[in-house]
Structures are given as structure tokens and as C-alpha cells.
Amino acid sequence: MPLIGAVADDLTGATTTGVLLARSKARTAVFFNEEAAEKAEGLDELDAVLISSNSRALPANEAYEKVKSGTQALKRMGVKYFTKRIDTTLRGGVGIEVDAMLDTAGEDAVAVVVPAMPQSRRILVGGYSVIDGVALVNTPVAQDVRTPVKENYIPRLLCGQTKRKVGLVTLDKVLKGEEAVRKALEEERNAGCGVIVVDAITLGDVEEIAKACIELRWNVVAVDPGPFTSKLAFHRGLIKEEEPNVPPETDENGKTVLIAAGSATPVTKKQMEVLCEDKRHVRISVDPLPLIEGGDAAMDEAFKAVHKAVELMESETQPRAILFETALHGELLNLDEEDNKRHYAGGMSANRINAGLGTIISQVLEQAGREKVAGLYTTGGDTMVNVCYQLGVECIEVMDYVIPQTDVGRLVGSYDGLPVVGKGGLTGNDNTACDIVSRLFRESARK
């Protein structure tokens, strides 16, 4: 029976936390929603269940209901320890979603918010979020087309979103160790804080916070990108030491990696440019406007890409990887403007683009045959959701990461066992896409 349960605001976030548990010998599955989780076979064999609420860009009331519903489902499964998985860059309605989980987890529940993910150079100092040495508001996420972040001081960001009083335990307390952290947490809770933010710059800091929370014996809801959840589980004796899980190198002949690039960040753009410098990797640009329009126009554009890809995969010079992208060529569309032009509900243009990418991947797999595909690589949580939806996937069993926040798993259900890597749009260096393709070939030979 799963004792560890998390609700994440998108699928790639769920896999990022899940992989940390899976690398620590916990059998872990990530589900697209609570209905899929509760219907899943073999649930009792899992140690951890993560559910994507896909709520990051939703209005506050809808996000609240999604997280509440997901938390209730976890309780029905027997979960004892709860996590509200948050984005490392604090996008979305974090405070609202924390309220939803606290309101469901019990009257004595308290949220301990540890936004740091030192493995990815995401830290918190004095309550201020710093991403790879840059203040959060000065990173590309501040201009995110759907969920921009305009506040760098995390207690103030949360105060604008939660109905609870927000406290802060600063780095000077954390650096003094477990006992100092425990006392500081008690002071904040005694002051009436139901949400307590804690600074951290290293995994050692995160560990001290976890040990202090366990010593307090509180009903703690972990609010974090993954490391705090993992350290809590380790010190509760639920998981083992984290270890990599990398298969040996293998022959790459006769297969192709399919890539759906839904992220439009400069990081992703550069990674794909470097990937396509290798002539074995082919880019197929898909016009996003017909996908946004929908109907016959969308199907025509999608099947044009499918036909080209299948033709390439059946040729004597089968590509090592095929990249399908809608936002890495030409001018970047303002998707809010596209919604307004067509009188769409907010986010519909983005959803239709991602659905189009999902259709393309599904049809290429069907027409070319699974035996020709080494694995799938998606950038952006919404893209991953749509690809898996179009494939009829039940869930993803997570296994390892290429680098933190670039997660390796296997599909469960349709195309059972097919390797998949999901990557956030802001993650990695220039060579990360190349590394992912190489890793998928190794995963394709895993027994």
C-alpha cells in the first residue's frame, strides 16, 4: 500500500519528485489524474503515488478543487504522508493549492514549504528565490506566457494566495542545525502560521529541516519540488539511500527517438539547435496556427508531419531522432492574443497545440511501428500529458533521471514499457537534449 502521496500541478513536476523516490528503491508511479490512479491495477504494490492535477494555469477555484480531489483520492488509497509538489520557480497558484491540501489532510496539518532544489541550483535565501545564481524575477520564467512569476520574495508571494498566515525560517537558523530549525518552526507555528517557508541552499540544509520536522511529530504537509519530500521519507525509514539506475550502453541501429517540443523557452531552443547540428537528427517544423484553428486544418497539418516522419523512418537513412516542434522556428506566438482573437477560453490555443503534438506522436508510432521507436522525449508538462493521453497510457512508472528535472520512466498500459523522458522547459545545459537521446537508446535495451 502506498504510504507516500503527492499532488503535483503538472506531469513533469510529478515525475521529478517521483524519480527521487524511485532512485531510493521505492516503487513509484505517476498518474495523469486521480481517476486513473484509483482504477490502476497493482496499486497495493506501490510505495508512492503521484497525481498530476494539471492545475498550474487554472483559475484559483478550479485549481483548489483539483488539488482537493487529488488529496482525497490519496487518502482513500491509504496514504499517510502528503506532499504538495510545487514548481521550482513557484509558478501557478501555489498558496491556493496548499490550502486545498491542508483543508483535506486534517485540522492539525501544517505546511512546511522548502522550495529549494539544490541539485538544479534552485535555492532560497532570506525568503528570496534564486535560480542558478539569478533572482527568480530576472529569469525567463518571469515572462512565462501562461503563468508568469512577478514576486521574488516567497512569503509575500504566498501571502497573496493563501488564507493562512505565512511564516519564515531564515538561513541563519537552518545553518545552526536541526535543533535550531525545530525551535524556529515552533516559534512560527506558535505565532499562528499554518504555512512556514524555510530557507535552504544545500541538500544538507534540506536534510536538517526534514529531521527537525520529524522530531516535532507534526502532521507535516511537505510543499516542495522533491528533495524535502525525499529526505522526510528517508528519515522516516520509508526509502533507502538514493542511487542512479543507469542501464549499459547498447547498439542504436534501426530505431528512432521521437521528440515533441512543446516548450518555447530560450533554454529549450538552444538545446534543440545543438541537437540538430548532428545530421542524424531531423527537425520537422509544425505550423501552430492550423493546430490552434482545429478541425480539418489541424488534422491536415498534423498528418503532413506524420507522413514525412514515417517516410524518413522507412528510408535507408533512418534518423536517430526526429524533432517535432511548433515554437522553435519563426516568431513566437502570443497565445493569449490567439485565444482572444478566436474568443477561446484562456489556454485553449496552448492546449490545441499540445494536442496536435500528441496526435503526431501517436500516429507515427501506429504507422511506423513500435519496433522502430527507441523512446519518447517531451519538453513541457502539458505536452507530455497530451502525448500520453493520445497514446492511451495509464500511468508512468518512474525510474531515474538524466539530470535532475529530466526524468526517465516507462509507459504503463498502451505501448507498455516504452521508455519516456520528460523535461521541464527551463532545465539543463546546451547538450542536455543530446544526452537525453543517448539515454533513451540505452533504456530501450533495458530488460
Q: What is the mean pLDDT of each run of 10 residues along the chain (447 residues)?
A: 95 94 97 92 94 94 97 97 96 97 96 97 97 93 83 98 98 98 98 98 98 98 98 97 91 90 85 96 96 95 98 96 89 86 90 94 96 94 87 93 94 94 86 97 89
Residues 390 and 317 in one domain: yes
d(CA 108, CA 216): 13
pLDDT of residue 102: 98
All cell numbers assigned to 217: 511529530
Residues 14 and 65 in one domain: yes
Cα 249 to Cα 252, 377, 389: the distances in Å are 9, 18, 30
d(CA 47, CA 356): 34
Determine how β-strand 48-52 pairs with β-strand 4-8: parallel
E strands, 247-336, are 256-261, 281-285, 321-325
Number of CB atoms found within 10 A of residue 346's CB: 15
Q: 273 in a domain, yes or no?
A: yes
Q: What are phi and psi of 293, to 5 degrees?
A: -65, -35
Q: What is the CATH number of the domain that holds 417?
A: 3.40.980.20
Q: How many helices (H) and strands (E) does the chain have?
A: 16, 18
Among 405, 324, 317, CA closest to 365:
324
C-beta of residue 175 within 8 angstroms of C-beta of residue 205: yes
DSSP codes of every residue in 94-133? HHHHHHHHHHHH-TTEEEEE---BGGGTEEEETTEEEETT
Q: Which domain, by its residues, includes 71?
A: 4-235
Burial class, 146, CB count within 10 angstroms (exposed 0-12 / middle 13-18 / buried 19+): middle
E strands, 294-413, are 321-325, 373-379, 393-403, 406-413
d(CA 87, CA 14): 10
Helix, strand or coil for residue 364?
Answer: helix
Which of 235, 265, 288 is the C-terminal boundary of a domain?
A: 235
- Taking the mean position of all CA atoms in its chain, how far away is CA 150? 21
Helix, strand or coil for residue 331?
Answer: coil
Bridge-partner residues for 344, per DSSP? none
pLDDT of residue 313: 97
pTM of the model: 0.90
Q: Fill in the DSSP letter of residue 80.
A: -
pLDDT of residue 87: 94
pLDDT of residue 360: 97
pLDDT of residue 346: 83
E strands, 264-392, are 281-285, 321-325, 373-379
pLDDT of residue 439: 97
d(CA 86, CA 10): 9
Residues 184 and 284 in one domain: no
Q: 244 in a domain, yes or no?
A: no
d(CA 26, CA 233): 10
Helices 11-22 and 227-235: crossing angle in degrees, nearest 10, is 30
E strands, 146-191, are 165-169
Residues 175 and 287 in one domain: no
C-beta of residue 245 within 8 angstroms of C-beta of residue 442: no
Q: 397 in a domain, yes or no?
A: yes
Q: 224 in a domain, yes or no?
A: yes
Which of 181, 205, 235 is the C-terminal boundary of a domain?
A: 235
pLDDT of residue 279: 96
Q: 245 in a domain, yes or no?
A: no
Cell 526524468 locates to 407
What is the number of structural domains in the chain? 2
All cell numbers assigned to 27: 516503487
Residues 212 and 324 in one domain: no
DSSP codes of every residue in 404-434? TTEEEEEEEETTTT-EEEEE-TT-S-TTHHH
Residues 205 and 287 in one domain: no
